[in-house]
Amino acid sequence: MNIIKTDIPDVLIFEPKVFGDARGFFFESFNENVFAEAIGSRPRFVQDNHSKSSKNVLRGLHYQIKQPQGKLVRVTAGEVFDVAVDLRKSSPTFGQWVGEFLSVENRRILWVPPGFGHGFVTLSETAEFLYKTTDFYAPEHERCVMWNDPDLNVDWHIQDEPALSAKDKLGLLLKDADLFD
């Protein structure tokens, strides 16, 4: 597996080796030993999630202020632009974001550590998104930073206004949000 560093050192891209022929393909999407060596720890994954979204649906930027979740994310159908924002006030990369195109074609996998906001927008007609989390979903601790916060200035690679959930429409500006120390 090829491991690619991003502009935020804690966020990593995993690029699996794909073995294919006329019959189809095979690749290892997760190996605990490779993952632990890459991030320097061995987190326990407790939940797997699967979502399907239509074109231009934007989900995020989500995080949990308590029970923060690390997320290992990938796409199994279609394409998304995935974004991680550092929300750790004590971090040298606080308030910075990185984005990555994840698709069924490139098979890239993104590690979003605890302490980060996370979101994605669907670029294809539909996309299916799978992710493992290091803690359980806790709606009472969930928070959302506005997808279009001018201080973050995320380039979502979309032309039109995205489709948002009612919850995501209520996202806060970074400067007004509960954050990590």
List the binding residues.
23, 28, 47-49, 59, 71, 118, 142, 167
- Residues contributing to the annotated binding site for substrate: 23, 28, 47-49, 59, 71, 118, 142, 167
Secondary structure (DSSP) of 100-137: EEEETTT--EEEE-TTEEEEEEE-SSEEEEEEEESS--
Number of neighbours of residue 138 by Cβ within 10 angstroms: 13
Give catalytic residue positions.
Answer: 62, 131
Nearest to 145 by CA among 75, 96, 74: 96
